[in-house]
Amino acid sequence: MELAYYSDYAVRLVNSEEPGRGKDSLTTVEAVRDLFGANQSAARRATDADLTRFRGVRARLRSVFEAADGGDETLAVDLLNSLLLEFPVSPQISGHDHRDDDDRPLWHMHLADHPSNATAGYAAIAAMGLAFHLTEYGVDRLGLCEASPCRNAYLDTSTNRSRRYCSDRCATRANVAAYRARKRAEADRSHSTGRSAEKAHEATATTDR
């Protein structure tokens, strides 16, 4: 498993809140546990106290995406480094899967955490995964959806670094909005041109008299 895979932990946490819509799904311990996905053993450590701690980490991770999206590469790295220092992990070799042709383990890297609480464990994995993604693919691969008011975080894995939206739904909505705006602008220009031509005609007629 590539370590950059863990960057999805950061995206899931950041997108548990939609500030532009006034929505926040991180309101219960169960919501915190759901963020862990298949890592249920770590999720079981979550308590009510983790709600506030998770929201604090979420705000810091969003700041990383905001800095990257705004083109401030150094700030994005500094913010992420502060999280890495506060929430360290221990990379470990794991072999719970097996090769197809024999019974030997399929060795790969995992991020093992030894936290005092669920937030520390999640933050460590999210920050390290995001760091691997950033260093492997570039800071400009971290973005925020351009479809207002969404602003969800995303990781750009396109071949030409062209991603601008967090989902196909947001891309479609933005394209429809842009199309309607162009049509309105065309209609306004046509109306303005028609009125100008009408005034010019009236002026010509007055002069002829």
CB–CB of 129/5 below 8 Å?
yes
Task: Give the largest CA-CA distance in the chain.
Answer: 102
Of 9 and 190, which is predicted with more confidence? Answer: 9
For residue range 109-156, what is the model confidence (pLDDT) as tens digits? 777 666 678 999 899 999 999 999 999 999 999 999 999 899 999 999
SS3 content of the chain, % helix, strand, coil (to 5): 60, 10, 30
Instruction: Using CB atoms within 10 Å of the CB of residue 79, give its burial: 0 to 12 exposed, 13 to 18 middle, 19+ buried.
Output: buried
Residue 53, pLDDT score: 96
C-alpha 14: how far from its chain's center? 7
pTM of this structure = 0.78
Mean pLDDT of the chain: 85
Buried b (16+ CB within 10 A) or exposed e, 23-32: eeebeebeeb
Strand partners, 154: 143
Spacing of C-alpha 23 from chain mean position: 16
Express each pLDDT in 54-83 by its tens digit. 999 999 999 999 999 999 999 999 999 999
What CA–CA distance (Å, rounded) separates 184 from 189?
9
Q: How many residues does the chain have?
A: 209
Q: 């005609």: which residue's tokens?
A: 201
